Amino acid sequence: MILLLTNSRDVTTDILLPYLTPRAEVFRFNIDLWRDYHWRIGTDGYELSDPTGRTCREEQVGAVYERKVMFDPPDIDVPAKGSEDSWLRAEVLAIWSGIKDLAMGAGKLALIHPSATGSWYKMRQMRLARKYFPVLPWEMIHGVPPQLGPSVVCKANTGAPMGSGFCFNVNRVDPQRIDTNFPWFLQVAGEAEYEVTVAYIAGRVFASRMRRSGLKSNDSRQATVNGEAQWEPCELAADENERVCALMRETGLSFSRLDFLRTDKGLTFLELNPNGQFAWMDIKNERGMLTVIVDEIMRVHDLHLPSPPQRS
């Protein structure tokens, strides 16, 4: 059995399941619907049950695959002294994290797992990426003036909401008008014909590109959501493919979505997301990307199948 940790609104999970369920039994735990699930967890194992009455016992689980942690609504206002809702979410998330931790210890985490070399936040990503790709100059500042020149964009280190449901998107800014009482992540604005996104899946590389000219938004995520961006499959040069793989081997991660700019000099690294969305790159599996994802989950699953009973 595969324990799939996700949420009820994750489209990537919905696209992936038809390719996964013919090969193994899947128990889907939607964290946003946690009130509809029952569980008992103890020293000797755990048992989960879903709203239909299906059960998942720890000894049945061959692989645990995590998609996205997202409650409904995704974020809530929390008073200074806390609230019952925020406490409940923290407790449920601790259960989720504990099950992942058990799977990590048993070697059952598939594709999405912590790296033995630590967490890969943006500043460390970009330092490592310099070994393999050009990286646009960047700085994170507070209380000091910016030093990158006149053409910069500001980014966010996290996806945390800013209030009223708004998230921080990539934007061009005038560095002379920045209020340095706030923490800023700034980068030289890159000029390129294409933005390239790459899904790295256990040694395999799948790439898509988007023409940047004419976009109203500086943030490709926003342009993709509003339908402004048009992505198409593309191939990396052989040396680019190898450099992506070498970078990922050094991170110790089995999966990531990586973003680049494509100029006449090649690829310029932007960032990597260790659990980025991927199904939109090959919704109909015409490139075989979903099959590769499923194969890797099944590889972990099959390593932990219960042994058949011995005949006397």
pLDDT single digits (tens) 73-86? 888 888 888 899 99
CATH of 122-134+192-274, one of 3.30.470.20, 3.30.300.20, 3.40.50.1000, 3.10.20.600: 3.30.470.20
In this structure, are residues 196 and 262 in contact, taking their beta carbons and an 8 Å threshold?
yes
How many residues would you count in the chain? 312
Looking at residue 162, its pLDDT comes to 75
In this structure, are residues 289 and 255 in contact, taking their beta carbons and an 8 Å threshold?
no
Place of tokens 């630590």: 118
CB atoms within 10 A of CB 119: 8
DSSP string, 199-261: EEETTEEEEEEEE-TT-S-S-HHHHHHTT---EEEE---HHHHHHHHHHHHHHT-SEEEEEEE
Pairing of strands 38-42, 26-30: unpaired
Residues in the chain with pLDDT < 50?
Answer: none
Looking at residue 38, its pLDDT comes to 97
69 CB-near residues (< 8 Å, 6+ apart): 5, 7, 31, 93, 96
What residues are paired with 65 via a beta bridge? 4
All structural domains of the chain with their residue ranges:
2-112+299-303, 122-134+192-274, 138-188
Pairing of strands 166-167, 161-163: antiparallel
Looking at residue 157, its pLDDT comes to 82
At residue 36, the 3 state secondary structure works out as helix
Crossing angle between the packed helical segments 122-129 and 238-251, to the nearest 10 degrees: 130
Measured distance CA(293)–CA(297) in Å, rounded: 6
In this structure, are residues 136 and 118 in contact, taking their beta carbons and an 8 Å threshold?
no
Beta strand ranges found along 43-117 (DSSP E):
45-49, 55-57, 63-66
Measured distance CA(271)–CA(94) in Å, rounded: 28
In this structure, are residues 243 and 132 in contact, taking their beta carbons and an 8 Å threshold?
yes
At residue 106, the 3 state secondary structure works out as helix
Place of tokens 């990539």: 170
Looking at residue 257, its pLDDT comes to 96
Retrieve residue 154's tokens. Answer: 């500001």
The CA distances from residue 79 to 11, 73, 84, 158, in Å, are: 32, 16, 10, 21
Looking at residue 311, its pLDDT comes to 62
**Shortest CA distance to 174 belongs to which of 154, 200, 201, 195?**
154
Retrieve residue 70's tokens. Answer: 């997202």
Looking at residue 198, its pLDDT comes to 97
CA 295-299-305 angle, to 5 degrees, is: 130
In this structure, are residues 108 and 64 in contact, taking their beta carbons and an 8 Å threshold?
yes
Retrieve residue 301's tokens. Answer: 């699953």
